[in-house]
């Protein structure tokens, strides 16, 4: 451990870098596949925000629950949902983690305790509180539910209802706000009268603090502080991760609401380059180690693409499954 690594083990920081690279390679390949019409529908890329998923997911226990937004490929990948099942899902194939029915915005894997992928802004916050309360009722002491959402969701009624009830009922929830500055194309300053999100969350009488969402080490430190508080004292905690997406909101977005200069300025803080440079300077790894991480990520992603290409689509005869109730005699 060194001060430059925030007191975290060197191996943990190496893992953060490898995880961010895995996400970056996967997302860049998804953009290409969208252009090839292998992936259809909506596609929201996580490029630029990888430090948040790496630092948070790398701090969780297997028994914790995770809920995310429609920009969730990276979270699912780091939670243990295989690249093959994620890619197959986006291809609409039956081997996908949601059977090919959910697509990019609805990744789901109960075994990994990854409960979506949710397309409705803010709609999953009450679900997160419910999961946390269920854990408490079932005696699953120490289990935490982590709920990712964007700053735009804080303008929704579900946000206020969820935080209020979580605080009242002492639900063990980490409210993880990924503030990338824009709710689709609307900046925080033009939509919210109170732009200090920690002030807003703390009005519900819960601990709340900021983290640098472009720095995986700072993300991990802030997250571990939150998780320790929840596991020891109970109740919810709010953390705002200040981050930035390098790509448009979605593949349909012309991205006209921000300047090229703004995007390029943020790219100077690319979380992969920043952490990579820090680890190289501290002699935690070599340039060859970094290249090996990129190579491994590319192979993982290409293997997932090959598997998704080879997998079948759902048979039309089964399209009513999970939609209509089966007759009693068919059970």
The string of pLDDT tens digits covering residues 296-309 is 999 999 999 999 99
**Nearest by Cα to 129 from 93, 94, 168, 103:** 168
Crossing angle for the helix pair 271-281 and 287-310, to the nearest 10 degrees: 140
Region 123-144 average pLDDT: 97
This prediction has a pTM of: 0.95
Per DSSP, 318 falls in state G
Q: Are 115 and 131 in contact (CB under 8 A)?
A: yes
Sorted by where each begins, the domain ranges of the chain are 8-308
> Across the chain, what does the average pLDDT equal?
95
Mean pLDDT of 118-132: 97
Note the pLDDT tens digit of each residue in 198-256.
999 999 999 999 999 999 999 999 999 999 999 999 999 999 999 999 999 999 999 99
Question: Which whole number is the average pLDDT over 125-131?
Answer: 98
Q: Which tokens in the block code for residue 140?
A: 């699953």
Predicted confidence (pLDDT) at residue 329 exceeds the cutoff of 60: no
Residue 119: pLDDT band (50, 70, 90) is very high
Give the architecture-level CATH label for domain 8-308.
3-Layer(aba) Sandwich (3.40)
d(CA 91, CA 107): 12
Could you tell me the CA-to-CA distances from 120 to 149, 153, 210 in Å, in that order?
11, 9, 25
Average pLDDT over residues 104-110: 97
Band (144; pLDDT cuts 50, 70, 90): very high
Asked if 274 contacts 8 with a C-beta cutoff of 8 angstroms, the reply is: no
């Amino acid at each position: 451990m060194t001060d430059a690594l925030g007191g975290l083990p060197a191996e943990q920081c190496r893992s953060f870098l490898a995880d961010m690279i895995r996400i970056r390679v996967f997302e860049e390949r998804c953009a290409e596949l969208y252009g090839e019409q292998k992936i259809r529908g909506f596609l929201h890329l996580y490029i630029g925000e990888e430090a948040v998923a790496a630092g948070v997911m790398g701090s969780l226990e297997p028994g914790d629950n995770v809920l995310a937004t429609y920009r969730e490929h990276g979270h699912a990948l780091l939670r243990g949902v295989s690249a093959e099942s994620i890619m197959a899902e986006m291809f609409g194939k039956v081997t996908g983690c949601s059977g090919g029915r959910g697509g990019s915005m609805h990744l789901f894997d109960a075994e990994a305790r990854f409960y979506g992928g949710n397309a409705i802004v803010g709609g999953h916050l009450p679900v997160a509180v419910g999961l946390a309360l269920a854990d408490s009722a079932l005696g699953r002491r120490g289990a935490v539910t982590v709920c990712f959402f964007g700053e735009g969701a804080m303008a929704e009624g579900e946000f206020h209802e969820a935080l209020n009830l979580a605080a009242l009922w002492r639900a063990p929830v980490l409210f993880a706000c990924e503030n990338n500055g824009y709710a689709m194309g609307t900046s925080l300053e033009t939509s919210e009268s109170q732009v200090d999100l920690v002030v807003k969350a703390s009005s519900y009488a819960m601990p709340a603090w900021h983290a640098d969402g472009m720095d995986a080490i700072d993300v991990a430190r802030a997250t571990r502080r939150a998780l320790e508080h929840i596991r020891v004292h109970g109740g919810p905690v709010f953390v705002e991760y200040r981050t930035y997406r390098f790509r448009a909101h979605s593949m349909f977005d012309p991205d006209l609401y921000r300047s090229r200069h703004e995007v390029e300025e943020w790219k100077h803080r690319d979380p992969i380059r920043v952490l990579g440079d820090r680890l190289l300077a501290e002699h935690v790894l070599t340039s060859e180690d970094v290249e090996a991480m990129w190579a491994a990520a590319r192979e993982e992603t290409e293997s997932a693409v090959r598997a998704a290409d080879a997998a079948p689509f759902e048979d039309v005869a089964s399209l009513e499954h999970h939609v209509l109730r089966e007759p009693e005699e068919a059970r």
